[in-house]
Chain A
Amino acid sequence: MSVLRSPLALVGAGLVAALVVAAVLAPVIAPYDPGAASGTSYAPPSLEHPVGTNNLGQDMLSRLIWGARASVSVALGATLLALTIGVVVGVGAALVGGLVDTLAMRVVDVLLALPRLPLLVVVAALAGAGRLTVTVVIGLIFWPPMARIVRSRALSLRRRGFVECARGFGAGLPYLIRRHLLPALGPVIVALFISVASNAVLLEASLAFLGLADPTGVSWGLDINRALAEPGIYFTSAWLWWVLPTGFAITLAILGFTLLGVGLEPVLNPRWERGS
Chain B
Amino acid sequence: MAMRLGSNAADRSGSIATTGADAQLRRPGRQPAWTLPAAYVVTVLALVALNFLLPRLMPGDPISALYTEGTASYVQDGGQREALRAYYGLDEPLGAQFVAYATGLVQGDLGTSIRYQVPVSELIAERLPRSLLLMGTALVLGTGLGVLAGAAAGWRRGRRLDRGLLVGFISLRNFPVFFLGSIALYVFAVKLGCFPLSGSSTPFVSLEPLARAGDVAWHLALPAGVLATEFATGQFLLMRAGMVSELGSDHLLGGRAKGLGDRVLKYRYAGRNALLPVASLMAIHVSAMVTLTILVETVFRYEGLGRLVFDAIRFRDYPTLQGCFLVLTLMVVTANFLADLAYRRLDPRVTT
Q: What is the interface of chain A, defined by CB distance below 8 A to chain B?
A: 106, 109-110, 112-119, 121-123, 125-128, 144-145, 148, 152, 195, 199, 202, 205-206, 209-212, 224, 228, 234-235, 239, 243-244, 247-248, 250-251, 254-255, 258, 265, 269, 272, 276
Stretch among B95-103, B220-228, B307-315 lining the A interface: B307-315
Q: Assess whether B131 is interfacial by the CB under 8 Å rule.
A: no
Which B residues are CB-close (under 8 A) to A127?
58-60, 62
User: Whole-angstrom distance between the alpha carbons of A3 and B41 in the complex?
Assistant: 44
Stretch among B85-93, B144-152, B250-258, B292-300 lining the A interface: B292-300
- Nearest residue in B to A229 (C-beta to C-beta)? B314
Q: Is the CB of A224 within 8 A of B62?
A: no
Q: What is the interface of chain B, defined by CB distance below 8 A to chain A?
A: 1, 3-4, 8, 11-12, 14-17, 22, 25-26, 39-40, 42-43, 46-47, 50-51, 54-55, 58-60, 62, 171, 173-176, 178-179, 182-183, 185-186, 189-190, 197, 241, 244-245, 287, 290-291, 294-295, 298-299, 309-310, 312-314, 316, 318, 321-322, 324-325, 328-329, 332-333, 336
Q: List 30 A-B contacts (CB under 8 A).
A: A106-B39, A112-B22, A113-B15, A115-B14, A116-B14, A117-B290, A118-B291, A118-B294, A121-B309, A121-B325, A122-B51, A122-B321, A123-B54, A125-B313, A125-B321, A127-B58, A127-B60, A127-B62, A202-B12, A206-B291, A209-B178, A210-B295, A210-B313, A211-B314, A224-B182, A234-B186, A244-B183, A250-B176, A251-B174, A251-B175
User: Whole-angstrom distance between the alpha carbons of A78 and B311 in the complex?
Assistant: 27
Q: Is the CB of B179 within 8 A of A250?
A: yes
Q: Is the interface of B mostly helix, strand, loop or mixed?
A: helix
Q: Is the CB of B14 within 8 A of A117?
A: yes
Q: Is the CB of A195 within 8 A of B8?
A: yes
> B6 to chain A: closest CB distance in Å?
13
Q: Is the CB of B291 within 8 A of A235?
A: no
Q: Is the CB of B313 within 8 A of A211?
A: yes
Q: Is the CB of A224 within 8 A of B179?
A: yes
User: Whole-angstrom distance between the alpha carbons of A15 and B312 in the complex?
Assistant: 36
| Residue among A152, A206, A250 with most chain B CB within 10 A | A206
Q: 7 tightest A-B contacts by CB? A: A247-B179, A117-B291, A276-B1, A255-B174, A116-B14, A115-B332, A113-B43
User: Whole-angstrom distance between the alpha carbons of A264 and B2 in the complex?
Assistant: 16
A272-B4 contact in complex given A117-B294, A243-B182, C-beta closer than 8 Å: yes
> B196 to chain A: closest CB distance in Å?
12
Q: Is the CB of A126 within 8 A of B55?
A: yes
User: Whole-angstrom distance between the alpha carbons of A117 and B176 in the complex?
Assistant: 14
A234-B185 contact in complex given A211-B313, A276-B245, C-beta closer than 8 Å: yes
A126-B179 contact in complex given A118-B329, A272-B1, C-beta closer than 8 Å: no
Q: Is the CB of B189 within 8 A of A202?
A: no
Which B residues are CB-close (under 8 A) to A119?
50, 325, 329
Which B residues are CB-close (under 8 A) to A128?
60, 62
A115-B58 contact in complex given A195-B8, A251-B176, C-beta closer than 8 Å: no
Which A residues are CB-close (under 8 A) to B17?
112-113
- Nearest residue in B to A145 (C-beta to C-beta)? B16
| Residue among B11, B55, B324 with most chain A CB within 10 A | B11
| Residue among B3, B40, B245, B294 with most chain A CB within 10 A | B294
With A113-B336, A118-B325, A250-B176 given, name 18 new contacts (CB 8 A).
A110-B39, A112-B15, A118-B324, A121-B294, A123-B58, A125-B321, A126-B318, A148-B22, A195-B8, A202-B12, A211-B314, A228-B299, A234-B186, A234-B189, A234-B197, A243-B179, A247-B175, A272-B1
> A242 to chain B: closest CB distance in Å?
10
Q: Is the CB of A126 within 8 A of B58?
A: yes
User: Whole-angstrom distance between the alpha carbons of A144 and B25 in the complex?
Assistant: 14
A114-B176 contact in complex given A122-B322, A127-B58, A234-B185, C-beta closer than 8 Å: no
